[in-house]
Amino acid sequence: MPRPRATRATAPRVGQSEKCNLARLYAVWGRQVLAVANTCPWCSAQGREADGPHTEWTFTSHTVDSDSFEPFSVLNLDYQLESDLHGDIKANGTQKIALKPVSMGGGTVPGKVTRVKLDVSYDDGATWQKVTLAKGADGYWTGSFRTAKKPGGFLSVRASAETNTGFGVENEIIRAYGLR
């Protein structure tokens, strides 16, 4: 029996940030991609995330003989970036950032992380600058970048991670942080 082709499902936009990761995909056997784009009323009121964050998860699924489905972990990214309570970072400075690939379900990461990438943008994603990351013993991938000189703008981030078992995650957050 031939393997099904990978499918792409886009979850509907939701109106509240606490519902950002509520999407369900009943997958067939094989490699799957789930894409989610969300809006957040608070972020829109602050002039941030005009198009909402966009996340895609890549994972492998198998068929089951019944309607009893077992959840499984997918890869996600935790960000560590020093910001104030408004989510702003200092303009015209060097900013340290750390990313850690984690299991969204709270379990173990599905496989060994083989790659983590990060890009930043100051023009809402029209152009991107690569941030070089180094893997640390604690599972964090760290790097630094120079922020834009002028306060009042925004920093957008685009990050991704992959494992040796075919799991992956891609995040793009336009206007993720303000520049003060």
38-68 pLDDT, tens digit per residue, is 445 544 445 555 556 788 888 777 666 667 7
Long-range contacts, 78-83 (Cβ 8 Å, 24+): 78/102, 79/157, 79/159, 80/140, 81/177, 83/177
Q: Does domain 8-64+73-179 have CATH number 2.60.40.10?
A: yes
Spell out, as residue ranges, where the chain has pLDDT lower than 50. 1-29, 38-39, 42-45
Check if the beta carbon of residue 58 is closer than 8 Å to that of residue 76: no
Domain ranges of the chain: 8-64+73-179
Which residues on neighbouring strands pair with residue 178, listed in sequence order? Answer: 88, 154
